[in-house]
Amino acid sequence: MSFRRELGLFDATTVVIGGIIGAGIFINPYIVAERLPTPGLVLAAWIVGGLIAAAGAFAFAELGALFPQAGGPYVYLRRAYHPLAGFLYGWAQLLLIVGGGIAAVAITFAEYTLRFLGRDGGSSWLAIAAIVVVSAVNYVGVKPGSRLLNAFVVLKVLALVALIAAGAFLPAPAASPASAPTAGSALPLAFGAALIPIMFSYGGWQNANYVAEEIREPRRNLPRALIAGTALVIVVYVAVNAIYLRALGHGGLASTTTPAADTAALAFGAGGDRIIALAIAISTFGFLNLSILAPTRIYFAMARDGVFFDAVARLHPRYRTPAVAITLQAAWAILLAMTGRYGELVDTVVFADWIFFGATVAAVFAFRRSTPVAAREAGTFTTPGYPWIPGLFVIAAVGIVGSVIASNPLRSLVGALLLAAGIPAYLWWSRRASSSARPTEGGDAS
């Protein structure tokens, strides 16, 4: 039994956009302004972050065109290095990054929905209800989940465009005292620290690779979706930050934890707070939907290769969705949302995302040797600027991981230990798979 190819180019592009735009752009820019001394450097950092994201999207486009299979980076890592590398990626996604992220996004959605409605309390139950509803929609088919995602991606982009348009007509604030200049030797460290929240905000383009087996003509449409979606987000993010700086000034942006709400209040008056609360609720709900839709394909691919629970490799006989994977992920996210302890767990492994980003893009070099471009199907997408663009991305990924370790060494250590705990789990499943002589990669496990 195989997936249904029901996602077109527009659907795949909204997966990219929806995977990148969450709540971060409404909140995180103040952290960047805190860490950099001038407006020019703030905008430069967002542009550099966008270029890094674009380099990553180019590499993922080449990998997706070469291996248009469910699971995306899981497939590339296990093929390029060792099955353990792919397993650890899936292990981190389920238990740490995606599981905690779904819980965090669901809570954020609930809090801002209640703020828009002018009510207090009940956010935990609303968060759980959101996880259940979105999981149910994706359980009954990839197309209903995609349609829901499309609607919310369009709404969140329109909300940001409205904020940009309204903010463009605001008068510039009175000049504030200049920030203390950053010493020349400290500036690279400050710039690296500023890139951490920026790259967190830009992350997510890889979601389209997870659903490659459900995209029509993936060798053509997946690269186009990755490039178009990432480019649109870069333009929107830089424009939004320019508006924040215009409306609030550098000092004002650095001193508020709610830059979008403050800008909206200036642009729309007293009702601005509620408008931005609605925009964040819309954005986070769309992001929540994508977090349920896409990463479950990783766990399906792991189980199909015999290194996860057998039942996860079975598609629903009617809906052709990884129903068990969706249910498992939803249950884990609900547990984390109920305990409320997911936040610190996610913090400890934020650096892991960029370890895997760097390793995945480095796989482009391995596949150029094992599967030369001349041996590939004519017209298959290849990364422009090879080897410089993917090489610079890998260097940037190493720098970002280093910045995270420098700023949070203890949590990074805990994250590394949690990842290492996946090694004995892999050894157990792989021995079990060998003894039961499961089908090899890509076999029918239904």
Enumerate the domain spans of the chain. Answer: 9-435
- How many other CB atoms sit within 10 Å of the CB of residue 377? 8
For helices 323-339 and 98-117, the axis angle rounded to 10 degrees is 60
Residue 293: half-sphere exposure toward Cβ, Cα within 13 Å: 36
- How many other CB atoms sit within 10 Å of the CB of residue 97? 23
Write down the CATH number for the domain with range 9-435: 1.20.1740.10
Q: What is the pLDDT of residue 290?
A: 86
Q: What is the pLDDT of residue 342?
A: 47
Q: What is the pLDDT of residue 57?
A: 96
Q: What is the pLDDT of residue 236?
A: 96
Residues with Cβ < 8 Å from 299, sequence gap 6 or more? 90, 94, 308, 312, 322, 325, 328, 329
Q: What is the pLDDT of residue 47?
A: 97
Instruction: Provide long-range contacts, Cβ within 8 A and 24+ apart, for 80-87.
Output: 80/362, 80/363, 80/366, 80/367, 81/359, 81/363, 81/366, 83/305, 83/307, 83/426, 83/430, 84/423, 84/426, 85/359, 86/302, 86/305, 87/302, 87/307, 87/422, 87/425, 87/426, 87/429
Closest CA to 72 of 215, 217, 267: 215
Q: What is the pLDDT of residue 182?
A: 60
Q: What is the pLDDT of residue 442?
A: 46
- For the chain, which residues score pLDDT lower than 50? 342-343, 438-446
**Tens of pLDDT, residues 5-18:** 889 999 999 999 99
